[in-house]
Amino acid sequence: MKKIIAGVLGIAAVLSLASCGKKSGSASASEDGIVTLKGIIDLVPHQEIIDYAATALLKEGIKVVTLQDASDNLGNEKTANGEADFNYFQHKPYLDSVNTQNGWDLVSVGAIHVEPISLYSDKYKSLSEVPDNAVIALPDDGTNEYRGLKLLNDQGFIKLSEHSLSALDANVGDVEKYLKPVKLVEINAFQIIPTRADYDLFVNNTNKILESGIKTNILAQESPDSPYGNIIVTKASRANDPAIQKLVKVLLSDDVQNWIKQKYNGAVIPVK
């Protein structure tokens, strides 16, 4: 009986030591030393960028497994609760807002690319062709509506209030003056492309244009120094995880950044 008890205690001790050797929430490593990172990654261009970087990541001992895209809006929640090691679909201002709303402790460990908000038209090829009383569709979600209005402000269509410009937050009610006679229509960003025939111009993120596969004209675009770079996000406790750091290092390498520039020809802009 004593031998049996001793054996059980010995097994328990081994299991306890094994448990202590593995940090909670850390990425898993296989027998060949490859560390697997589970990510929630948008399809375009995020997944395409990750796919291109896969060979370089393997050389660094990293394999990325995509759990899903971010279409169900649970990407941050699943990263916060440890289901995902990281996510890649959003910009810092959006992350800051959801952290505040939900009490999450998520951090950016690096911006990889910018998806500039752009002003598009199927009917006109340049701003000089846009007639008076043109109807312009804008995404109605907070950050993107501000970005769209800021773009129209910068292109001389409207004048936004100083408060909205400094607060990085605006809706149509913050337009102080219409410098050109236009009509602004606020609409869900996902409905803009299917209904674009109803508008003379429309504002949207370039990733939505890329995903839809439509051909349209870019009349104006955010500058490359936009603060809305798409970021790798993880829990604060994982920010210095070597595997996460290697992921960011590869995505910011000259090879991957140059590939982004060549692949998307300005529709997606590398941060370097």
Give the per-residue pLDDT at 206. 84
- Contact between 105 and 236 under an 8 Å Cβ cutoff? The reply is yes
Q: Is 188 helix (H, G, I), strand (E, B) or coil?
A: coil
What is the per-residue pLDDT across 188-217, written as a single tens digit (0 to 9) for each?
A: 988 999 999 999 999 998 878 888 889 999
What average pLDDT score do residues 3-20 get?
Answer: 40
Q: What percent of the chain has pLDDT over 70?
A: 88
Q: In which band, very low, low, confident or very high, does the pLDDT at 1 lie, cut at 50, 70 and 90?
A: very low
For the whole prediction, is pTM greater than 0.85?
A: no
Strands 182-187 and 134-139: parallel
What average pLDDT score do residues 218-239 get?
Answer: 90
* DSSP letter string, 91-145: EHHHHHHHHHHHT--EEEEEEEEE--EEEEESS-SSGGGPPTTEEEEEE-SHHHH
Q: What percent of the chain has pLDDT over 90?
A: 70
Q: Is a pLDDT exceeding 70 seen at residue 7?
A: no
What average pLDDT score do residues 100-117 get?
Answer: 95
Give the per-residue pLDDT at 205. 85
Q: Is a pLDDT exceeding 80 seen at residue 180?
A: yes
**What kind and span of H or E run contains 48?**
helix 48-59
What average pLDDT score do residues 135-150 get?
Answer: 91
Q: Is a pLDDT exceeding 80 seen at residue 16?
A: no
- Please tell me the distance from the alpha carbon of residue 106 to that of residue 54, in angstroms, as a whole number: 25
Q: Is a pLDDT exceeding 70 seen at residue 21?
A: no
Write out the two tokens for 62. Answer: 């990293």
Q: Is a pLDDT exceeding 80 seen at residue 2?
A: no
Q: Is a pLDDT exceeding 70 seen at residue 25?
A: no
**What kind and span of H or E run contains 258?**
helix 254-264
